[in-house]
Structure 1
Amino acid sequence: LIFGVWCLVVVAVAHMVPVPRPATGEFFNGLLGLATWGFWFFAGAVCATPDVPTEADFFGEVPTVLTVSRLAQPLQDTPGAVTVLDREWIRRSGARTLAELLRLVPGYLVSGYNGANPVAAYHAPVDELGTRNLVLIDGRSVYSSTYLGGTLHGMYVLSLEEIERIEVLRGSNSAAFGANALFGVINVITRHPQDTMGGTVSLTAGEYGIRDVYVRHGWGDAQASHRLSVAQRHDHGYRFVNDDTRLNTVKWRSDWRLSAEHDLMLAAGYADSRTGDGVPADFDNPERDVQRRSAYLLARWVFQPSIDESWQGTFSWSEERATDRFIYQRPGLQGVVIDFGNQERRLHAEIQHQFRAGQHWRWVWGVGLNEDSALSPPLFFRDSRLAQRDWRLFVNAEWALAPDWVLNAGLFTGRHSHTGSYATPRFMINHHITPDHTVRFGLASAQRAPTLFEQFADVRYFRPDGSFLTRTFVSSGQVRPERLVSREISYLGRFPALNLVWDARLYDERFDREIDSFSLGGLQRDFINGQGFRTQGLEYQLRWQPMAGTHLLWNHNLNRFRWDDPAKVGQRTPPRQFWTLGWMQELPHDWSLALWAYGRDEMAWRRANSALDADYRIDLRIARALRWGTTRAEWSLTVQSLNGDRQEFLSSRPSTFPRRAFTPCMWSSEVPRLSRRRWLAWPLAGGLLLGGPAVGWGQPARVRVWAAERTGATGEVLEHLGRLWDGGQPWEVSTDSPTPLPAGEVRLHLTLGVRPLAELAVQVQRQPTAWSVPVLAALLPEAAYVAVGRSLPVGSSAIWLDQPPERFLALIQRVMPRRRRVGVLLGPASAPLEPALDRAAAERQLVLVKARVQEEAANLFPLLRNVLSESEVLLALPDPMIYNAATLQNILIATYRQRIPMVSYAESHVRAGATFSLHTTPLQVARQVAAAVQGWWAQGQLPAPARAASGAVAVNDQVARSLGLDVPDVEALQRALAGEIR
């Protein structure tokens, strides 16, 4: 945390010390230099990765993002600061729209001139229509280039229930995606149809006309899966403005696995919205309804001939028709038709190639074509369709200079049919101080092309008799693209011992050639390039899980903003600071609580006379999860603006966000995801996976289950236990910190995961006499139990996630019988397995090539190279010093380049590129726990601590074929391993 204190001191000094305006740039340059030295000076003070593995090492996904460079990269390698919002954060936010969700992202201001047009602007309120944000939904841009342009309508029609995760790049990214990616890229990845098999219904009702309905059905198999959804959203928006909204959508998505190398995704959707707009008693902007109908088609084909090469082709078509017209009622001009109606179309075609060149280089390049066209006689005074085309070529490269240095470089170049050629480069270098702590230094440029309206506007009005009246907008077509140059220093730190993630970005952004309108005299206006502005500051985010079931979030943005044009001082002024504070808490009996607070200093969205005072808002969400057989359900109550009505926007009249409450209810009978890879599990997993935790209501809970959460692998184990114990064993689940209970109420404590066991062990040390009931620890590695489980009560035991070493070697012999030399890296957590590994290797006449890793960053990769040079297969054993999010990608690259298969302990490693895995599934954990509890109840004692009694094998077909291995048949492998692995 020393780095955070340092940055806060630097920025605080910047805001407190008076600096002459001409010297601002030089002063901030000094701050950048000072902060840079601070990074290096305090580099040695950061925390290192703990040596004890947790269940996350077995079940956690390898974190990667695609938004920044088009290459799948872990967060510490991305050329920019990225915030990821997953389904759990989305659900607990209480948000109804995508714009509301962005309050959880540092640097984003969320508002809207009315409730029907919510918008999220990054850093500066110069983008109330979203024209300078790029929003992608499954790779399809929802940018509108007609009339005022923007992304707010494309964002608004998205159903949050379909989102898997949102990746938000905080900063410009034209180097990867071209024009319009000035102030951030919002990349929405929807759920795969295989994750939504079955049915889901969600109903929401609340104050101010909130009536939402969402219905989804998924079907298919592992080769082809499909999803169809329909939704309706309705509300009355803000107070004092006409902004009622009714939105209806239909969406369909299908994914096909055509072969082991070919995948195809098709998607289509239709949206019909009717929204209120205008102001009462305003001749120029009267109250009226605006109707929009939109549709889209998306096709994406992926060909992956090997693990380090892929081709992707994308085609999308989208069209929107807007109807917005009224009759002018100003005295003397009655009967004049005011019409903003338009029909726009967007076509996009692209092909990209990703490959690895050598051991340290990864490349992605591609070509594409965008065509935006519009038909609108009222806006362009022509009956023909206007079009603008953008031919584009892009290339991004990642160069691993050293194990702790990564260089990212990118260039996007193209030719616009009206503004000419352009190029937007980016350069970023990442330094891994330790595997958990990364510093980035970068420079990037970006641009935004003029919209069709800014290029070709020709708005004319006629009297009712057809005679010409006047022109308002007359575009000369001379505007050039807007431009942004940004410099940044950012930091990403993980503190596993504290369950803390810290993400900070120090930025200096200079924006120029702003496209704005100016008066030509009378009512006529044209578009020109003005000057711009400069914004400098620090934004950071802290995500902390201080205890089981508790999540805390703190976003803070410190901002200095200055217009280049003195005449604009006071206009569109961002707050000097704004923040978000969140608290999510799991409660007993499947209840949960989320409390959110959002605050900002004074600001102005448009002019100085429409400035908003400093304000804050509090949201509350309370939810209860329910289960009936195979059906999951959740009831929740959300209160937005709990502290009263808030002023959101000031124009001709105030737009006030009201305090409102609504109640969503969701029912789901979705089935588990079908594996997209070949896998084997034994014994055969069958039966229903869902059940209720409350059985035997008339008697005390004999088993108290302490769990860190009810989601992920822990949630799956709880669901399986619910079925296995249904109607039999009385048990109760708690996500609180373990506390002693009377022996008459609880006969056995069951902990799931490392954290509940560690907290329980601390309690036992403090009050040994209060803990007489034995403890069964499960869903944790052996090394973690040895480290924290020594002080447990007499009779306690454990069921470990680890597979026995001899089982790994049996698998290697079965799938690769000719490979006799097995490489192994041994760290602090895996070293105790060495004797058992030696015995198993001797029995099977295998040769172990071993190396001991003493320091995580200093000698890991030299030792890995030595081991691989003498091995025919690499065996990965659970050890976070060796295999973690920061090192795994480079280890996989090294093994693949030397054509060495890797056998791992985690299925997620196979998805990331390992050849095989031998792992333990949540169902197998639940079965072994149920058997142990049954034996304890019958015999009065728990079995001795043991490794996993059964396991599962996963195979990455593409990697195996690329390495020349015969991909084993699932059934044949099951029969061969049944006797040895059981």
Structure 2
Amino acid sequence: MKHLHQNGCRRALWMLIAAPTTTALAATDESAFFGDMPVVLSASRLSQPLRDAPGSVTVIDRDQIRASGARDISDILKLVPGFVATLAYGSYPAVGYHGLTRDRSPRMQVLIDGRSAYSPYFLGGIEWNQLGVDIDDIERIEVFRGSNSAAYGANAVLGVVSITTRSAYDSERISASQQRGNDGILDTSVAGSLQNGGLGLRLRAHEQQDDGFKDSYDGRRIRMFDLRGDYQINTTQRLEFHAGKTDAEVRRGYPAEAGDPPRTTNMQTSYSLLRWRMSDGADDEWSVMYYHQDQSQSDAFVQTYPLSRILSPAVLAAYGLPSSLTLTIDSSYDTTRDDVEIQRTQTINEHLRVVWGAAWRQDRLHAPLQFNTLQTVTVQDIQAFGNLEWRPGRDWTVNAGAMIENASLSGTNTAPRVAVNYHLDDEQTVRLAWSRAYRAPTPYEQLSDTKYTYNGAVLRWTDKPADNLDPERITGIELGYLGEWRTANLSLDTRAFDEKVEGLIQDLKIPIRIPQDQLDPSRREVRTSVNGSWARMTGLEYQLMWRPLQTSWISLAQTFMNIRSDNPKNSMSAPHVATVITAAHRFDAGINLSLSHYRYGRMNWQQTEQETIPPYHRTDIRIGYEFFIGRSRAEIYAVGQYLGQSNAEYKPIYQADARYYAGLRWEY
């Protein structure tokens, strides 16, 4: 019965991104359990049929994740229209949606079971190597394409990636896997779970490593431990708790650069989360969540300054400096986050549902070099949010909501949204949505004050605090069309968008006002953050999915986009055309085959002319064979990536050659 329930859930999830699944499970009447499917959970914080959501949502389930052959969650997001993903330096994943990204994802929110993965440190964004979740434990990934700050705050100005892991009740008792390949690929994972009455526990240990790009010092080794527990207190209340730790060793640096020499850095993230839910009706629920997270990085190296080449003998004597000075450059940091959220979901009547709540978050950052202080920098964020779904008639759904957010670095801002969905019939919906959102400055953008000193003298000053930095403002409007032709097992999700970002926070080199404050007279500029240019992204993206059989699917996703800006560097930060084709089929003999092909126009992650990546394509293939050993299930599989040509990733100097790896997975 448990397996029947899991298969039914997977069927429902497939319907989120495609046409309904095929007839093998259709004989089972699930309408009473699933109701008006498909549903999404993260678009407005209300559980909604996709046709009622206030924006376009792509949902990727376990079968599609496994068929992709991806080793990184960031690589999975290439399946989503409008998304691009790459490897910066070979060991650092980078993901962008509609450009303006560089090597971070500063305008995207990523949630893992409700816990924000947005890092408060440096330029802000997502540390994709530190998410703390194993791909095999993911139940589904919901991607809201477009601004969703009305539901999730300032970091969600251009999208939300919500990752939901499987409950401990739905996990295998024991599972193990290992995959090996070229470029030093060696991934190993072991998990176990137990259920006792209302309590379920799952523990996972995972290690991932590879050598990065050829001829580059950028390999990585990531070790992860994760615990999830689910406890059904009674018929109305349940607890969910998570705890984990991720430890990443990353090689970085360049042999020819004294300021960035080859070295191994270490980043650690540990977290714990507790969520209590009480449901007092079909759509009425209280939820309280608290999580604590620690993140640290160790990164230090020795640098030699030939002072006699840049300073006169008189200056050396005045400051008591030697002709050559050796310093330890330590950019290590520690951050701590505490977050509390309370949420109430209510059904007012048959036409109106609401969700409202509040949250408080505090980040503490200790980074002596970057902030030029031994004191801990503390920033706080307070949120109050509300979203309502109103159905004035059978053919209409109205979503309206707002987030009021007070950030200690940027004051109070309100992010509203309104969306109107008109159902042409039971299978077709047209949507018009408008939103306004704000991205608050990060502590680094606002407060960075990096100085390299010796005996109280400033050797070099590279960053200074910003003056009167305001939040970025994003205004978006979209026209969407969703067709779900169930009898044909076909779906089409189309989104036309116009997104304008004003007051972009960007770097600016300014003259040093008092050159004698530093000993190096050759450096007369310092970097700071300012509200600079504007950018406007317009275009069309769609995803067509056809599922002729329960065991097969074919998907076509395309994005056509134009970026206009008063800064020409912004216009190339995303490809003008991107195409993704995926197909998969499971044969009766236990053999499964999947194929993915990606084509991208030229773009520039770094937004500098010399770093433009030419148009390229990439082909991935996966073939596997599933079989049973007694009561356990196993699969052997092989994956080939970057087939067809050598592609530039992130920068022209990083060439991604063909990768091959094979693996064995066993579940009991």
Q: Does TM, scored on the shorter chain, surpass 0.5?
A: yes
Asked whether the 8 Å contact 1:97–1:158 carries over to 2, the reply is no
- The one of the two structures with greater contact order (alpha-carbon pairs below 8 A, sep at least 6) is 2
Distance in 1 separating the partners of 2:396 and 2:24? 25
Partner of 1:662 in structure 2?
Answer: 661
Q: 1:75 to 1:214 in 2, by over 3 A?
A: same
The letter of the residue matching 2:498 is: D
Distance in 2 separating the partners of 1:462 and 1:596? 52
Asked whether the 8 Å contact 1:552–1:584 carries over to 2, the reply is yes
Alpha-carbon distance, 1:468 to partner: 2.6
Q: 1:418 to 1:203 in 2, by over 3 A?
A: same
Distance in 2 separating the partners of 1:490 and 1:535? 16
Which secondary structure does the structure 2 equivalent of 1:641 belong to?
strand
Question: In the alignment, which of 272, 278, 281 is matched to residue 297 of structure 1?
Answer: 272
Q: Does 1:96 align with 2:98?
A: no
Which secondary structure does the structure 2 equivalent of 1:473 belong to?
coil
Q: Does 1:472 align with 2:462?
A: yes
List aligned pairs for 1:622-701, cutoff 5 A.
Answer: 622-650=623-651, 654-669=653-668
Asked whether the 8 Å contact 1:197–1:220 carries over to 2, the reply is no
Cα deviation code 1:699-736 (max 9, x no counterpart): xxxxxxxxxxxxxxxxxxxxxxxxxxxxxxxxxxxxxx
- Identical positions, percent: 31
Partner of 1:361 in structure 2?
Answer: 352
Partner of 2:8 in structure 1?
Answer: none
Partner of 2:192 in structure 1?
Answer: 217
List aligned pairs for 1:453-602, cutoff 5 A.
Answer: 453-463=444-454, 467-521=457-511, 522-547=524-549, 549-565=551-567, 568-569=568-569, 572-602=572-602
Q: 1:270 to 1:616 in 2, by over 3 A?
A: same
Partner of 1:613 in structure 2?
Answer: 614
Distance in 2 separating the partners of 1:569 and 1:293? 34
Distance in 1 separating the partners of 2:199 and 2:400? 37
Distance in 2 separating the partners of 1:330 and 1:583? 56
The letter of the residue matching 2:478 is: E
Asked whether the 8 Å contact 2:54–2:399 carries over to 1, the reply is yes
Which secondary structure does the structure 2 equivalent of 1:603 belong to?
coil
Alpha-carbon distance, 1:466 to partner: 5.7
Alpha-carbon distance, 1:109 to partner: 0.9
Distance in 1 separating the partners of 2:405 and 2:435? 17
The letter of the residue matching 1:660 is: R
Asked whether the 8 Å contact 1:454–1:477 carries over to 2, the reply is no
The letter of the residue matching 2:292 is: W
The letter of the residue matching 1:603 is: M
Asked whether the 8 Å contact 2:93–2:129 carries over to 1, the reply is no
Cα deviation code 1:138-194 (max 9, x no counterpart): 000011111222113366543101100000001110000111101110000000000
Alpha-carbon distance, 1:549 to partner: 3.2
List aligned pairs for 1:88-237, cutoff 5 A.
Answer: 88-153=63-128, 157-237=132-212
Asked whether the 8 Å contact 2:564–2:571 carries over to 1, the reply is no
Cα deviation code 1:932-978 (max 9, x no counterpart): xxxxxxxxxxxxxxxxxxxxxxxxxxxxxxxxxxxxxxxxxxxxxxx
Q: 1:386 to 1:398 in 2, by over 3 A?
A: same
Asked whether the 8 Å contact 1:549–1:586 carries over to 2, the reply is yes
Partner of 2:315 in structure 1?
Answer: none
Cα RMSD for the two superposed structures: 2.0
Asked whether the 8 Å contact 1:146–1:453 carries over to 2, the reply is yes
Q: 1:208 to 1:552 in 2, by over 3 A?
A: same
Asked whether the 8 Å contact 1:552–1:582 carries over to 2, the reply is yes
The letter of the residue matching 2:122 is: Y
Alpha-carbon distance, 1:548 to partner: 5.8
Which secondary structure does the structure 1 equivalent of 2:362 belong to?
strand
Distance in 2 separating the partners of 1:276 and 1:571? 32
Alpha-carbon distance, 1:396 to partner: 0.2
Which secondary structure does the structure 2 equivalent of 1:378 belong to?
helix
Q: Does 1:422 align with 2:423?
A: no
The letter of the residue matching 1:436 is: E
Cα deviation code 1:866-917 (max 9, x no counterpart): xxxxxxxxxxxxxxxxxxxxxxxxxxxxxxxxxxxxxxxxxxxxxxxxxxxx
Stretch deviating more after TM superposition (149-158 or 218-227): 149-158
Distance in 2 separating the partners of 1:207 and 1:549? 30
Asked whether the 8 Å contact 2:409–2:443 carries over to 1, the reply is no
Cα deviation code 1:744-768 (max 9, x no counterpart): xxxxxxxxxxxxxxxxxxxxxxxxx
Asked whether the 8 Å contact 1:562–1:569 carries over to 2, the reply is no
Alpha-carbon distance, 1:587 to partner: 2.5
Which secondary structure does the structure 2 equivalent of 1:546 belong to?
strand
Asked whether the 8 Å contact 1:336–1:462 carries over to 2, the reply is no
Distance in 2 separating the partners of 1:54 and 1:550? 14
The letter of the residue matching 2:617 is: Y
Distance in 2 separating the partners of 1:314 and 1:197? 26
Alpha-carbon distance, 1:263 to partner: 0.7
Q: 1:142 to 1:573 in 2, by over 3 A?
A: closer
Distance in 2 separating the partners of 1:609 and 1:344? 35
Partner of 2:26 in structure 1?
Answer: 55
Alpha-carbon distance, 1:113 to partner: 2.0
Asked whether the 8 Å contact 2:563–2:571 carries over to 1, the reply is no
Asked whether the 8 Å contact 1:337–1:461 carries over to 2, the reply is no
The letter of the residue matching 1:403 is: R
Alpha-carbon distance, 1:551 to partner: 1.1
Alpha-carbon distance, 1:604 to partner: 1.3
Cα deviation code 1:831-872 (max 9, x no counterpart): xxxxxxxxxxxxxxxxxxxxxxxxxxxxxxxxxxxxxxxxxx
Partner of 1:376 in structure 2?
Answer: 367
Partner of 1:67 in structure 2?
Answer: 42
Which secondary structure does the structure 2 equivalent of 1:58 belong to?
coil
The letter of the residue matching 1:507 is: F
Q: 1:49 to 1:195 in 2, by over 3 A?
A: closer
The letter of the residue matching 1:662 is: Y
Alpha-carbon distance, 1:330 to partner: 5.5
Alpha-carbon distance, 1:640 to partner: 0.5
Cα deviation code 1:565-587 (max 9, x no counterpart): 3xx34764321100101111222
Asked whether the 8 Å contact 2:107–2:158 carries over to 1, the reply is yes
Which secondary structure does the structure 1 equivalent of 2:212 belong to?
coil
Cα deviation code 1:285-307 (max 9, x no counterpart): 22211101110010100011222
Which structure is larger by alpha-carbon Rg, 1 or 2?
Answer: 1
Question: In the alignment, which of 394, 403, 423 is matched to residue 432 of structure 1?
Answer: 423
Distance in 1 separating the partners of 2:197 and 2:429? 38
Which secondary structure does the structure 2 equivalent of 1:115 belong to?
coil
**Structure 2: gaps of 5 or more residues:** 1-18, 308-323, 512-523
**How many residue pairs get matched?**
616
Question: In the alignment, which of 256, 262, 269 is matched to residue 244 of structure 2?
Answer: 269
Distance in 2 separating the partners of 1:49 and 1:451? 43
Q: 1:275 to 1:154 in 2, by over 3 A?
A: closer
Which secondary structure does the structure 1 equivalent of 2:548 belong to?
coil
Which secondary structure does the structure 2 equivalent of 1:131 belong to?
coil
The letter of the residue matching 1:366 is: G
Partner of 1:712 in structure 2?
Answer: none
Q: 1:184 to 1:116 in 2, by over 3 A?
A: same
Distance in 1 separating the partners of 2:305 and 2:207? 37
Q: 1:238 to 1:56 in 2, by over 3 A?
A: farther
Partner of 2:337 in structure 1?
Answer: 346
Cα deviation code 1:523-575 (max 9, x no counterpart): 4111111122001000000111235633101110001111133xx34764321
Which secondary structure does the structure 2 equivalent of 1:346 belong to?
strand
Distance in 2 separating the partners of 1:330 and 1:436? 69
Partner of 1:45 in structure 2?
Answer: none
Partner of 2:314 in structure 1?
Answer: none
Cα deviation code 1:212-257 (max 9, x no counterpart): 1110000013411000111100101122322110011111011111
The letter of the residue matching 2:107 is: R
Alpha-carbon distance, 1:644 to partner: 3.1
Which secondary structure does the structure 1 equivalent of 2:151 belong to?
helix
Asked whether the 8 Å contact 2:100–2:570 carries over to 1, the reply is no
